[in-house]
Amino acid sequence: MLWKSLIALCVIGAAVAEQTPVFLWGANSVAKPSLKTVSQVEFAEQLAALLEDHMVVAFEENGLSSKDFLCSNSQAQSCYAQLQGVSPKTYYTSVENPSEALRSVAAKREHNSIDASGKLTTPAKCAVGTALFVTFEDAAESREASLESHDAAIAAISKQFECKVAYLYLAAPSTAPVVQRRTRRDTAATTGGIMWKSTNQFQIFYTALLYNGNPITVTDLKLSNASSTKLSVVMDTSDANKPITFDVVYNGGYFSLSNLVYDNSNFRSSGVNAPTTFSYSCGNLTLESSAVNNMYNTLSFKSLQLQAPFDGSYKENFAFGDSWDCVGFVTPGILMGLFVVLLLLVIMFVGVCWMMDINTMDRFDDPKGKTITINAAAE
């Protein structure tokens, strides 16, 4: 029974694993037979060796298959005119979970995207040992035109890095990891409230600010650059002795709030973060302080929206980027759906195991033997 269960698990695992083509260039790599599937462990070991003295940039193409590399445009030219000229290069016909293999060995991971104009939405820095995952934001166009524009964008971006970089062109995983992007939402309205700005580095909007349910009046906002990846913000209030202070920290393409203090209380703000090209927004953000005598203080922002681009190319009084909402994707409805799916998978697994345990009978009636006779008399 045990070995049959293991076989069933292997079959299910093989169905879940994704095997996609991978095009690698910019570094020497070991060639593999085209009919052989490179396992995730083997590919991860190869990438780990590259990360020791290279930066790895992975361009993730939605629905990439081997047929895409045979793509040609209306002039019968290859959609990958730029990638054809790179060297050294290696093409793997089938690799098991290549994106997950890179994530498993990269200690430092960053995420970025290429907009419709073919440029990175956030400037990328060259750093050996870093894995940069780049996705594409496509406009509505044909597959051939999309691949051709991606080829040109990849060629242009590859010239921006000055250190040793190994490039991967692979299929985007069908199931994105947690660190994957949320769906873009419409920019929240910035009317009927209070807006504070500091040059092109930081701005915040809200309609009301409450401390333990009591309104707070902010009189001024001051900003100081603690470092290139950290901003210190001071919001003076009507009570001169009680300013609101917090830090805005940049890490891996995201900005986040930390060390928020008001009235000598430290508030938890770990969930306030967003990509630098987005603006963080929340209809009702309530932050709690650490417990003092079993009492909690609360600091509430109504219709909050804030952004710290950490990019000198932004203009003063810049418009907020697309909204990165504080409402998560895992709702009760999603949890119920996942539970039902899990339950059905368990039922299917048990059913398959039972079916595999069905055996033929080991004893049969003897047709040459004495027939069983049952005498029945009418009463």
Q: Dihedral sign for Cα 24, 26, 30, 34, please.
A: positive
Distance CA 163, CA 160 (A): 10
The confidence band for 353, taking pLDDT boundaries of 50, 70 and 90, is: very high
DSSP string, 138-170: --S--HHHHHHHHHHHHHHHHTT--S-EEEEEE
Mean pLDDT of the chain: 83
pLDDT at 140: 52
* Pairing between β-strand 165-171 and β-strand 214-215 as defined by DSSP bridges: unpaired
pLDDT surpassing 90 at residue 169: yes
Q: 233-275, pLDDT tens digit by residue? A: 999 998 888 899 999 999 888 999 999 999 888 898 888 899 9
pLDDT beyond 50 at 186: no
pLDDT of residue 329: 67
C-alpha to C-alpha distances, 308 to 274, 287, 317, nearest whole angstrom:
9, 20, 12
In this model, does residue 176 exceed pLDDT 50?
A: no
Q: Span 144-148, mean pLDDT? A: 87
pLDDT of residue 166: 92
- CA diameter of the chain: 111
User: Residue ranges of the domains in the chain?
Assistant: 17-171, 194-325
Cβ atoms within 10 Å, residue 73: 14
Least confident of 86-90, 230-234, 370-374: 370-374
Q: Among 17-31, 203-217, 310-324, which range has the highest average pLDDT?
A: 203-217
pLDDT greater than 60 at residue 89: yes
Structure confidence at residue 11 as a pLDDT band (50, 70, 90)? very low
How far is 222 from 203, CA to CA, in rounded Å?
11
> 161 pLDDT exceeds 70?
yes
Q: What is the mean pLDDT of residues 318-342?
A: 85
- Can you tell me which residue has the tokens 């490179």? 38
Residue 372 confidence (pLDDT) above 80: no
Confidence of residue 332 (pLDDT cuts 50, 70, 90): confident
Q: How confident is the model at residue 17 (pLDDT cuts 50, 70, 90)?
A: low
Q: What is the DSSP letter of 241?
A: T
71-77 CB contacts, 8 Å cutoff, 24+ apart? 71/143, 71/144, 71/147, 71/148, 72/144, 73/144, 73/145, 73/148, 74/144
For 39-85, write each residue's pLDDT tens digit. 999 999 999 999 999 999 999 998 898 888 888 887 778 889 888 88
pLDDT, mean of residues 281-289: 89
pTM as predicted: 0.47
Task: Single out the residue of 328, 270, 281, 269 nearest to residue 307, CA to CA.
Answer: 281
Percentage of the residues of the chain whose pLDDT score is greater than 70: 86
pLDDT at 149 over 70: yes
Using an 8 Å Cβ cutoff, are 56 and 129 in contact?
no
Which helix (H) or strand (E) segment holds residue 47: the answer is helix 40-51
Say which DSSP state 81 is in: T
Q: For the residues of 214-236, what is the DSSP string, one character each?
A: EE--EEEEEEEEEETTEEEEEEE
Mean pLDDT of 100-122: 86
Q: What is the pLDDT of residue 364?
A: 67
For the stretch 173-185, what's the b/e string if a residue is b when 16 or more beta carbons lie within 10 angstroms of its beta carbon?
Answer: beeeeeeeeeeee
Is there a contact between 217 and 200 (Cβ–Cβ < 8 Å)?
Answer: no
pLDDT of residue 330: 72
CA distance 234 to 240: 12
pLDDT at 175 over 80: no
Q: What is the pLDDT of residue 328?
A: 66
Find the angle CA(221)-CA(200)-CA(244) to the nearest 5 degrees: 20
Say what the pLDDT of residue 2 is. Answer: 46
CATH code 2.40.160.110 for 194-325:
yes
Decide: 61 and 173 in contact? Cβ < 8 Å. Answer: no
